[in-house]
């Protein structure tokens, strides 16, 4: 079985961040600012071990199965490289919005965790 990677996101809700979360913004209409919410980015789009490892490298992870590296650090994530990488994979353009969300969540100090599956 190949690896399928995703990013789990945990952080305080703000109306500004609603556009980046997993559900449509209207689902968050009653969510109070500061409530801790969980979301997911790049939901299983990186099917296959080679693609998932390339994705991990863009996130600053040198070994996708080294659990010590799974918490993303803003200083290690290479957003231009990630956007370039997305352009090279099938349907990667569909995940550019997730790259934007990743950038904003990192800037807001959210806990972002690389999660390989497989």
Check: pTM over 0.85? Answer yes or no. Answer: yes
Burial of 40 (0-12, 13-18, 19+ CB in 10 A): middle
| pLDDT tens digits along 17-66 | 999 999 999 999 999 999 999 999 997 666 678 888 999 999 999 999 99
Q: Which residues contact 50 (CB under 8 A, 6 or more apart)?
A: none
| pLDDT tens digits along 70-115 | 999 999 999 999 999 999 988 888 899 999 999 999 999 999 999 9
């Amino acid at each position: 079985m190949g690896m399928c990677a995703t990013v789990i996101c945990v952080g305080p809700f703000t109306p500004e961040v609603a556009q980046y979360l997993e559900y449509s913004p209207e689902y968050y209409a009653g969510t109070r600012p500061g409530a801790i919410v969980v979301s997911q980015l790049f939901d299983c789009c990186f099917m296959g071990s080679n693609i998932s490892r390339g994705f991990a490298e863009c996130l600053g992870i040198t070994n996708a199965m080294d659990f010590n590296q799974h918490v993303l650090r803003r200083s290690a994530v290479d957003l231009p490289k990630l956007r370039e990488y997305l352009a090279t994979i099938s349907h990667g353009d569909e995940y550019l919005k997730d790259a934007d969300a990743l950038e904003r969540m990192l800037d807001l100090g959210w806990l972002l965790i690389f999660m390989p599956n497989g």
